Amino acid sequence: MLKIEDLHVYYGGIHALKGLSLEVTDGQIVTLIGANGAGKSSTLRSIAGLVKNRKGKILFEGQNILGKTPEALVGMGIAMCPEGRRILPHLTVMENLMLGAYIRNDRDGISKDLDWVFELFPRLKERTWQKGGTLSGGEQQMLALGRALMSRPKLLMLDEPSLGLAPLLVKEVFEIIRTINAEGKTVLLVEQNAYAALKVAHYAYVLEVGEIVLQGTGEALIENPKVREAYLGG
Amino acid sequence: MKTPNKSRDLTLTTAAVGLLLVFLWWANGHLDNYKIQVLNLIAINSILALSLNLIYGFTGMFSLGHAGFMAIGAYVSSLLILPPVQKEMIYILQPLIWPFSVLQAPFFIAVLAGGFAAALLGLIIAIPVLRLGGDYLGIATLGFAEIIRVVFTNLTPITNGALGLKGIPNYANIWWNYGWCLLTLFFLIRLINSNFGNVLKAIRDDEVAARAMGINTFKYRVVSFSIGAFFAGIGGALMASLITTIDPKMFSFLLTFNVLMIVVAGGLGSLTGSIIGSAVITVLLEWLRFVENPIDIGSFHLDGIPGMRMVIFSLLLILIILFRREGIMGMREFSWDSLINRFSRGGEAR
């Protein structure tokens, strides 16, 4: 579904991604793990069209999407749930969700997806008319996920969905990612919480300073001694 | 969900507008010219504050170019309502060039033309300038307003240069001003509460998130900026006809500053705040004139100091920034529901 070939990203003089190549297979959960500054977020941001200085090839369903605007990419079925949730604090939960469906015009489809999101996150339904800023951290993460789903994406990209959440909520978020995937969405997940991410992932890549150093199925990487030492605490 | 009682709200709004009209009719017949002038200024300042609030408060674009848009609106509209004979008399240095020398339009059309001219200019400068963000945008728009002023000072065959325009017909009576003010208010209420308004607020709160949702933020910023410029032009056109004399010096940064002060004091991101802010600040600015007159306190004599009220005002602005940064209303809006709730809760307490 998504194939990246030899992607380079520059921020000013910094060479953030150095010829990265990876592949996301339809219907899978694929995760990128790595330390701070390894280039995980840069990868997601360049797929979403939010990074300007890039070079290489990003193929989505066979089409090169490098250089397309973020608007066009959302229309093609790529949704990103950015790091730090970034919900809109002065708008209600409903308004946040409806803005997620901004590029769509099919009323029936939107209301169907809205029902689905409320089914996934019953707590959001209780808070429909509350301002986004009044929600708890966990609820805000649910809202961010729900909002990304409202564009009816084929590929859902999640940047650090467990960041700053209590352990119990982290578990819940990963359960939900599994559910979303089971309903047919392909997921590209970036995580600091390497163990939990590898547990849910079908396939995983390990990034180190802008390059892929290891790859394999989630289970294989959990067993890999190098990964255990560097990311899973021995 | 709180089900908004639409028919009740419509009745109450109509009644409130009716009351306002009755008050204006009474004021027109019973108050002296000075008080009516203050009422007129409140309406015009409301239009200006609402338009700046759309740009700054709702879309998050720090713009300091309001005086420039007002100047465009004022000159375009004035040139259209000045009678040709009058134009010939005031253009002493260089005659007014064709077609401006013969163009004439009714007041409503002239004001509208002023608004559209300002919107068009807003659109033209928005495309390069809105690529900037934050403080840089403020500096660029401030520069733009100064450019307009300098161009108007030197474009003598059209603007009559530094002499300005005199004897502009005084059509902008209380009805025109409040009519335009209500029109602006209702238009912006509809706009802000629509999906378009939500998109603007999304851009203000988090531009990256807005782009990630597939919103073309640049397009929305340009449209919002142009609509703001349109109403600034309308405000400028009405102002010109109200005070009947304009010159380029009038449209300096101080004018933008006054509008900005109203918006900040009323509350960024609150239409209600802009209306209350213009009423409070306009009245205060007039009332504070007494500090510029000589004052006797017992045997102590103070000479009047011109400009003293601006000192007091600047202090007031500093106090607002220090102690009540969100202004009078914050981001809240007036609604009939909240008013009725307040009264009924007060009743239960007793």
Chain A contact present for B4, CB below 8 A:
no
Per-residue confidence (pLDDT) for residue A61, from 0 to 100: 93
Mean pLDDT for back-to-back runs of 10 residues, chain B (350 residues): 72 92 92 92 97 95 95 96 88 80 90 97 92 87 94 91 90 94 96 94 92 92 96 97 94 92 91 94 87 77 78 83 84 85 65
- Residue A52 has what pLDDT? 83
Cβ neighbours of A91 in B, within 8 Å:
198, 201-202, 205
Which regions in chain A score pLDDT beneath 50? Answer: none
DSSP label of B96? P
Helices (H) and strands (E) in chain B, counts: 15, 2
Which H helix or E strand runs over B272?
A: helix B271-287
Query: For chains A and B, what is the number of CB pairs under 8 angstroms?
Result: 64
Q: Which of A89, A100, A128 faces B205 most closely, judged by CB atoms?
A: A89
In sequence order, the 6+-apart residues with CB closer than 8 A to the CB of A31 are A188, A189, A190, A191, A197, A198, A200, A201, A203, A204, A205, A218
Is residue B320 a contact partner of residue B258, using CB atoms and an 8 Å limit?
no
Candidate from A89, A100, A129 with C-beta closest to B213 = A100
> What residue has token string 């851009």?
B203
Say yes or no: B211 contacts chain A, CB-CB below 8 A: yes
Which among B195, B198, B206 has the least Cβ separation from residue A86? B206
* CB atoms near residue B14 (< 10 Å): 10
Q: What is the pLDDT of residue B333?
A: 86
User: How close, in Å, is residue B207 to chain A by CA atoms?
Assistant: 10
Task: State the pLDDT at residue A234.
Answer: 62
3-state SS track over B167-179: CCCCCCCHHHHHH
- Under a CB-based contact definition with an 8 Å cutoff, are residues B336 and B12 in contact? yes
pLDDT digits (tens, 9 = 90+) for A75-128: 999 999 988 889 999 999 999 999 999 999 899 999 999 999 999 999 999 999
- Residue of chain A whose Cα is closest to the Cα of B215: A71
Distance from CA of B39 to the nearest CA of A (A): 33
Q: How far apart are CA B35 and CA B47, in angstroms?
A: 19
Question: Which of B10, B14, B38 shows the shortest CA–CA distance to B24?
Answer: B38
3-state class (DSSP) for residue B63: coil
Instruction: Name chain A contacts of B331, Cβ cutoff 8 Å.
Output: 90
Predicted complex ipTM? 0.87
Q: Do residue B215 and residue A95 have CB atoms under 8 angstroms apart?
A: no
* pLDDT of res. B350: 42
By Cβ distance, the residue of B1, B202, B215 closest to A91 is: B202
Whether chain B has a CB inside 8 Å of the CB on A164: the answer is: no
- Which residue of chain A comes nearest to B58, CA vs CA? A90
- The beta-carbon neighbor of B2 closest among A50, A87, A129 is A129
Residue B94 contacts A, CB cutoff 8 Å: no
Is B214 within 8 Å of A87 when comparing Cβ atoms? no
Closest chain B residue by Cα to residue A95 = B198
Q: Which chain A residue shows the shortest CA-CA distance from B3?
A: A129
Beta pairing partners, A30: A188, A203
Mutate to test the interface with A, among B59, B200, B206, B213 (most CBs of A within 10 A): B213
Contact B198 A100 (CB under 8 A): no
Sign of CA dihedral B225, B231, B234, B240: negative
What's B304's DSSP letter? Answer: -
User: What pLDDT score does B316 carry?
Assistant: 81
Contact A91 B201 (CB under 8 A): yes
Residue B321 backbone phi and psi in degrees, to 5:
-60, -40
Domains in chain A: ranges and CATH: 2-231 (3.40.50.300)
Distance between CA atoms of residues B177 and B189, nearest Å: 18
CB-based contacts of A163, cutoff 8 Å, min separation 6: A83, A84, A192
Three-state secondary-structure class, residue B301: strand
Chain A positions in Cβ-Cβ contact with residue B202 (cut-off 8 Å): 88, 91, 99
Amino acid A85: pLDDT: 85
CA A223, A225, A226, A230 dihedral sign is: positive
- CA pair distance A162, A28, nearest whole angstrom: 19
